Structure 1
Amino acid sequence: MRISICFGSACHIRGAYGVLNAFKTLLEKNDIKGTVDIEGGFCQGRCTEGVVIKINDEIVTNVAKEKVEEIFKQKVMVLTSCK
């Protein structure tokens, strides 16, 4: 699984680093760090909807660090538990 977090100008201003850190914390806490690659990327072309992340091929918009735990449960834990 790959999680890509946009660090373009708009997403950076809206808290991309907080989103990254929240994901990293949850990966370590749930001991699935090795099964998920997390990376920074640049503009996803949805600057008015930032922070934008991409989980595999699915784009998720308007992500704030406060929303990361719910997204993690719905998207990451479900997909990693299937393997």
Structure 2
Amino acid sequence: MREVFHQSLEHLQSQLVEIADLVAVSIEKATRSFATSDVALAEEVIADDARIDELAVALDEQAIEILARQQPVARDLRIVVT
């Protein structure tokens, strides 16, 4: 049971890193689009934001599922909710 829990946590953490990477790229694109007045690039940032939002919602749902199914103890609970 704990092995499944730890695998779920690792998956959750890898998805969080993926989202963070996408956000970093979006910030760079947004800065560049602002500096160069590139409307097309700004629209790309807006489109990317929708994907980031979808991933964040999926991440929240997975965290809730982990909480419901695995009932983590205090230390593990802090990992899931932060």
TM-score (norm 2): 0.29
Higher strand share: 1
Tell which structure's C-alpha radius of gyration is larger. Answer: 2
Higher relative contact order (CA closer than 8 Å, sequence separation 6+): 1
Q: TM-score, normalised by structure 1?
A: 0.29
Which structure carries more helix by proportion? 2
